[in-house]
Amino acid sequence: MSKELIRLTQCTMAFDGEVVLNSMNLVINDKEFLTLLGPSGCGKTTTLRIIGGFVTPTSGDVCFDGVRINDVPPHKRAVNTVFQKYALFPHLNVYENVAFGLRIARGKNSRLSKAEIDERVMEMLAVVSLKGFEHRDVSSLSGGQQQRVAIARALVNRPKVLLLDEPLGALDMRLRKDMQNELKRIHEAMGITFINVTHDQEEALAMSDTVVVMDGGEIQQIGSPEAIYNEPVNAFVADFIGESNIVDGTMISDGVVEIFGRKFKCLDKGFGENEPVDVVIRPEDVDIVNVKDGMLTGTVTNTTFKGVHYDVIVDFKGFKWLIQTTDFCPIDSRIGIKIDPDGIHVMKKSQYSGMFGDYSSYSAEYDDIGDAEYMPEEETAEVESYEA
């Protein structure tokens, strides 16, 4: 997985003078499952289209296996695409829909015999678990099965890279989860590079070796799902991936950060002394304890049963945090919280500071109650601060 296959260098894409991709640098390795993740309009499809050769970047280079391919047309690239609207041929059966991928590619492959076509089609139908469906009418298939036909059609030419543009977007949630596993399995079976596009962070984390988080035509972070979740580089990534409480803090020294005027132990280091920072605390990393044992105390303003846990909204001096706990905490109760050093993640200030990570809009109807009981004096008095 470490051999480089595709490299985008300083790729910029502008439409009518409007920059939608800004100086993108990205290296994709052979056999990698890489996902471009970001909100609608951030430039994911444009990136995919540049790799596929459907658009040429305004500036910058696209290299494949070390060769510059800016001017190589799509059908001469070892790349195939599966779109969200997979556009199968309704008048052809499953077999013919897949075989079509080979028949149109004849120009570039040497002419394949009927037996070779048959072998490849059957092989691909086996890969996507549709053996026995060859003669079925595609319109009689479920959405998930149709998507698997589209994947087989794209794979039958044996591309080195499969581009997938929101391939699961049209499926309902249950099916989407099944297809996530299915795609992972197909990726392993084929042993080629998959470049997937999605705005669904759960899907990106579940399927990918590497996640590329994008916003505003720029890459925010590249990393493994674990790294993106545990070590987000800025407030945008922290907010986009999972749930995050993000608060202003000050880095006092290596391993000590101040939040709400209290000092907390953390594992982060390498910041300037007294540097203003953004601090991420994940809802599952907060322990609820007695008021007298709390590093901070707050008032519960909302609680929602989620099955595995409760989502509890807690007001700390007017800031609302989301905490996930298996303990029931009634509304209006006072609670204390504890956070272990590894539950605190410190980030540099960025253009996204102050924009995310606040749960005050979680349930507007409880805002008034929270405000009425807002007692900053008492809170300050009864909490012992942690001193390093």
Stretch that binds ligand ADP, among 42-50, 172-180, 329-337, 360-368 (CB under 6 A): 42-50
Binds ligand ADP by CB under 6 A, chosen from 1, 15, 185, 340: 15
Q: Does 45 bind ligand ADP (CB under 6 A)?
A: yes
> Vertex 274, ends 272 and 278: CA angle to 5°?
85
Stretch that binds Mg ion, among 42-50, 184-192, 335-343, 366-374 (CB under 5 A): 42-50
From CA 202, how far away is CA 190, in angstroms rounded? 23
Binds ligand ADP by CB under 6 A, chosen from 14, 20, 141, 190: 20
Q: How far is CA 1 from CA 27, 33, 186, 192, 205, in A?
A: 12, 9, 16, 10, 18
Q: Site for Mg ion (CB under 5 A): how many residues?
A: 1
Q: Which is nearer to Mg ion, 38 or 370 (CB)?
A: 38
Q: Which is nearer to Mg ion, 45 or 196 (CB)?
A: 45
Q: Does 35 bind Mg ion (CB under 5 A)?
A: no
State the binding partner of 42 from ligand ADP, Mg ion, none, CB within 5 to 8 A by kind: ligand ADP
Q: Does 196 bind ligand ADP (CB under 6 A)?
A: no
Q: Does 45 bind Mg ion (CB under 5 A)?
A: yes
Q: Which residue is nearest to Mg ion (CB)?
A: 45
Q: Does 44 bind ligand ADP (CB under 6 A)?
A: yes
State the binding partner of 15 from ligand ADP, Mg ion, none, CB within 5 to 8 A by kind: ligand ADP
Q: Does 146 bind ligand ADP (CB under 6 A)?
A: no
State the binding partner of 20 from ligand ADP, Mg ion, none, CB within 5 to 8 A by kind: ligand ADP
Q: Does 320 bind ligand ADP (CB under 6 A)?
A: no
In the complex, least distance from residue 52 CB atom to ligand ADP, rounded to whole angstroms = 12
Q: Does 132 bind ligand ADP (CB under 6 A)?
A: no
Q: Does 46 bind ligand ADP (CB under 6 A)?
A: yes
Residues that bind ligand ADP (CB under 6 A): 15, 20, 38, 40-46
